[in-house]
């Protein structure tokens, strides 16, 4: 069984559309936020510190998807349950489930890479092999 990080979210008025339903891009924002909390909870240092130590600037998304099951609205308290479900040489797949109490509202996946600044052009990034120590901390 893989490690699961639970990240609590208060759905705010500004998260909702005119129908008072959470606007779908916010689900991706919540998934992304939960991803960073996942790494922090596993003991991975903040990306700014990681860049100074080993050059890693973060884990950008290279693919994402979501399935919306039930709506959520202003005033709801929800939890994103995040885990890493697949490791590859340079990519890993995260699963996100958005829950309100015992009701599954949405589920999403994203594929990410560990990235450094490109050595030839610091305005670009470059995927690097997944660091063994980080993978070990996250399992």
Report CA 61 to chain centroid distance, whole Å: 9
Catalytic residues: 17
Indicate the DSSP class of residue 70: S
Can you tell me the distance from the alpha carbon of 94 to that of 6, in angstroms, rounded to the nearest whole number?
13
Exposed / middle / buried, residue 135 (Cβ in 10 Å: 0-12, 13-18, 19+): middle
């Amino acid at each position: 069984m893989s490690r699961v990080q639970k990240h609590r979210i208060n759905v705010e008025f500004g998260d909702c559309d005119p129908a008072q339903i959470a606007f779908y891009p916010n689900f991706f924002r919540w998934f992304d936020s939960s991803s960073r909390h996942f790494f922090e909870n596993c003991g991975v240092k903040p990306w700014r510190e990681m860049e100074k130590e080993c050059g890693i600037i973060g884990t950008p998304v290279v693919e994402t998807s979501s399935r919306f099951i039930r709506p959520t609205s202003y005033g709801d308290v929800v939890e994103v349950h995040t885990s890493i479900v697949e490791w590859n040489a340079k990519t890993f797949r995260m699963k996100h489930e958005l829950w309100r109490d015992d009701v599954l509202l949405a589920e999403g996946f994203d594929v990410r890479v560990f990235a450094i600044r490109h050595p030839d052009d610091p305005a670009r990034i470059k995927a690097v092999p997944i660091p063994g120590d980080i993978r070990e901390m996250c399992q």
